[in-house]
């Protein structure tokens, strides 16, 4: 597959946590060219970009798979520079916001992080499974999770470290089941997330509940126990909608799957 060499490059980049800057690009003003996409793609590229925009803005909801014709588009987006640049814009804004706050250092300020496609990246798995064009297979996905080898999303790891220095506590809330606590803990620590206030996994009492309900309930518990959620970051809208979402929310890109 043509994207495999790029995957190797991407993984090397992710694992070594990037310090490099994006090359400067000379910008030209073009007349609108209705049938060309960013990379000079023809019509399918344009519709896949529109589809991704619809997904990221929560206009397209409850979708099960990435359109088959967009596999290459989504693959190139995720393994190329754009995904990383888009993530960086999000985490930079989060940081600018966090450092602008006049926080009372009483140990009650928390930042909620989702895990999959926010804190850790499952791209190595999805690159082998059609970048979301295949139906979710829990058996195959859980086998990957149990390896405990998901790399960090570099931009989120940087934000995490800066927030800790600011005295903000981190709470992870993930849709992964309680049975994955051990491997999740190990994976997080191995890639640089060394400390947290709480790691909340989805307990069996939530079976049958949407992520939206589960995460809202867990955030409400946090607030009732005296924490202030000053910020909240995730790749799904269900991470950042509902009750007690936090003073500000930040949405990372994820064109691979939808969780309600
Ligand atoms: C920051 O907060 C402290 C106490 O919460 C307050 O005394 C101080 O005036 C605030 N400073 C600014 C610049 O808002
Ligand atoms: C799901 O993944 C498992 C393990 O890789 C595989 O055996 C199974 O056939 C897959 N199921 C479907 C419906 O593709
Ligand atoms: C948790 O993981 C560690 C290291 O991966 C392992 O040594 C330990 O036995 C595991 N504990 C349980 C309860 O699975
Ligand atoms: C959570 O799931 C259970 C079992 O399906 C259901 O009875 C309950 O109404 C759900 N709660 C919410 C708030 O959706
Ligand atoms: C967060 O929102 C609450 C409720 O609106 C407000 O009282 C509080 O000052 C806000 N905190 C920050 C850090 O902006
Ligand atoms: Mg996620």
Could you tell me if residue 259 is inside a domain?
no
Look up the CATH number of the domain holding residue 98. 3.40.50.1000
Q: What is d(CA 245, CA 220) in angstroms, rounded to the nearest whole number?
A: 9
Counting from 1 in the atom list of ligand 3, the atom nearest the Cα of 182 is 1
- Indicate the helix (H) or strand (E) that contains 214: helix 211-224
What range does the domain containing 205 cover? 4-17+39-251
Close Cβ partners of 68 (under 8 Å, ≥ 6 residues apart): 133
Instruction: Report yes or no on 53 lying in a domain.
Output: yes
| Residue (of 144, 149, 126) closest to 254 by Cα position | 126
Pocket mutation for ligand 3, best pick of 182, 190, 201 (most atoms within 8 Å of C-beta): 182
181 in a structural domain: yes
The answer as to whether 236 is a domain residue is: yes
For residues 120 and 115, give the distance between their C-alpha atoms in angstroms, rounded to a whole number: 6
The answer to the question of residue 187 being in a domain is yes
Is 139's C-beta closer than 6 angstroms to any atom of ligand 2?
A: yes
b/e sequence 8-22, b meaning 16+ C-beta within 10 Å: eebbebbeeeeeeee
Residue 120 · residue 187 · CB < 8 Å: yes
**38 in Cβ contact with 174 (< 8 Å):** no
**Nearest residue (CA) to ligand 1, atom 12:** 102
Contacts of 241 (CB under 8 A, 6+ apart): 212
Query: How many domains does one find in the chain?
Result: 1
The residues, ordered by sequence, that sit 6+ positions from 34 with a Cβ below 8 Å of its Cβ are 46
Closest CA to ligand 4's atom 13: 213
Tell me, yes or no, whether 84 lies in a domain: yes
Is 22 a member of any domain? no
- List the pLDDT tens digit at each of the 260 positions of the chain: 445 444 544 444 443 333 344 333 333 444 444 444 444 444 455 699 999 999 999 999 999 999 999 999 999 999 999 999 999 999 999 999 999 999 999 999 999 999 999 999 999 999 999 999 999 999 999 999 999 999 999 999 999 999 999 999 999 999 999 999 999 999 999 999 999 999 999 999 999 999 999 999 999 999 999 999 999 999 999 999 999 999 999 999 999 999 99
Domain membership of residue 177 (yes or no) is yes
Cα(236) to ligand 6 centroid in Å equals 6
């Amino acid at each position: 597959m043509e994207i495999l060499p790029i995957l190797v490059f991407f993984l090397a980049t992710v694992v070594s946590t990037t310090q490099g800057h994006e090359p400067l690009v000379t910008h030209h003003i073009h007349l609108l060219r209705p049938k060309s996409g960013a990379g000079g793609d023809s019509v399918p590229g344009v519709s896949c970009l529109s589809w991704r925009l619809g997904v990221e803005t929560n206009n397209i909801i409850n979708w099960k798979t990435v359109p088959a014709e967009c596999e290459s588009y989504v693959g190139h987006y995720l393994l190329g520079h754009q995904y990383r640049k888009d993530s960086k814009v999000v985490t930079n804004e989060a940081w600018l916001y966090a450092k602008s706050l006049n926080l009372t250092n009483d140990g009650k300020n928390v930042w909620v992080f989702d895990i999959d496609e926010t804190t850790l990246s499952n791209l190595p798995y999805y690159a082998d499974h059609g970048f979301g064009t295949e139906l979710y297979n829990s058996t195959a996905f859980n086998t990957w999770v149990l390896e405990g080898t998901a790399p960090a999303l570099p931009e989120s790891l940087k934000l995490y470290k800066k927030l800790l220095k600011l005295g903000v506590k981190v709470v992870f809330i993930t849709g992964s089941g309680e049975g994955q606590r051990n491997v999740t803990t190990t994976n997080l620590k191995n890639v640089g997330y060394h400390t947290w206030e709480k790691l909340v996994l989805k307990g069996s009492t939530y079976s049958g509940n949407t992520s939206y309900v589960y995460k809202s309930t867990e955030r409400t518990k946090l607030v009732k126990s005296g924490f202030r959620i000053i910020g909240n970051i995730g790749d799904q809208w269900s991470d950042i909608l509902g009750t007690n979402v936090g003073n500000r929310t930040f949405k990372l890109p994820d064109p691979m799957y939808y969780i309600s």
